[in-house]
Structure 1
Amino acid sequence: MGSSRPAAASIARARRRLGLAAGGRLVLAFGAIRPYKGILELIGAWAAVRARHPDASLVIVGPLLVGSEAAYHRAIEGAGVADAVTFRPTYVPHAEVALYFGAADVAVYNYREVTDSGSLRIACSLGTPVVATAVGAFREFLTDGVSARLVPPGDAAALAAALGGVLDDPAGAARMAAAARDLVTARWSWAVSAQATLELYRTVVRERAGDRTG
């Protein structure tokens, strides 16, 4: 089971294409933004991650379906991490999805609850190391320390520590990512994973249409 992460040059190219800084560590929170996904709490924990990894940046990307952009910007400013957080509350074109995951050192899922996650499947399929909360489908699919780092929901200190630990150990992160990728291959065919991706975006499109008409 080898590393499934792209080479450093590929990561830098992906970041440049997305208009992100080529250097430093990058943590990605990808997907439609809703309160149960714990993005505000993740922002609150980011200062602790930065204290351990001053070069780390957080990229939050996906359509904002509930709440206001202003609330997230206030949280970023209030946490004192405006220089270390990129907030892009917008739909991501399909062609850019793999670029975001290829640009990231870690994908983070600070959910309070979950039944399934197309975004997590994409991360695992593409070999991006994962830090997630030990809830629902995450707990059923992933094993802490083997295929991801899992933390208790609502524990900001544990979340920051897990993110810092994964950033500390790229080789260990690559091993976990490879194990998660093997799980995806065994449990879901590529066709099923592609369908999960398609359904994720269909859901976003439907919900955005509902927000405009409801």
Structure 2
Amino acid sequence: MMLIEETAPAAEALPVAALREHLRLGSGFNDPEDGAETAALTGFLRAAIATIEARTGKVLLQRRFRMRIDEWRDRLAQPLPLAPVTAVEAIRMDDGDGLATDLPAEAWRLVPDSQRPLILPTGVILPNVPRRGWVEIVFSAGFGTQWQAVPDDLAQAVLMLAARYYEDRGSDSHRGGMPFGVSALIERWRQVRVLGGRGQREVR
């Protein structure tokens, strides 16, 4: 499986002001709100969001992804590796000779489960993937476009982790592992990650 993030969260959607407030309360943060400081805090937030998303499989701020697999995990149902999925924009299949065509929208449907979204066939099974072919699924995932849409516990976990990154900046001794408080906040969102396909087929 190959998963590509096609869009990134907008800078204005990131909780920079909330992180500033968190740092003031937690560690005597008194730096001015200048451009360089804002850029640094934005970077810490993006790093924290990426870490939380990797640990939970949940996309916090909505964006578009492209997933390519060389065969269905199961022709009865194809799980998507991220949640919550808000829309599937297209499913394309390559015929093995470089010609890709869109599967008709009436041939499949999205089950937007909060833990394990699925692509299901509207008929009996999903169409066979040709030898040396592939399937590409373009979808959007995320709780919303604004930070207020992110669940409170995940939002707090991001602030705590970004604050840790801020406090560790420039340090030669990096504390390893996820902070306990962050791990506790994200625990209920964690799940076993689902592979996009059964495995790589031998190329002949």
Note whether the superposition's TM-score is higher than 0.5. Answer: no
Higher helix share: 1
TM-score, normalised relative to structure 2: 0.25
Q: Over alpha carbons, which structure has the higher Rg? A: 2
Higher relative contact order, structure no. (Cα contacts within 8 Å, ≥ 6 residues apart): 2
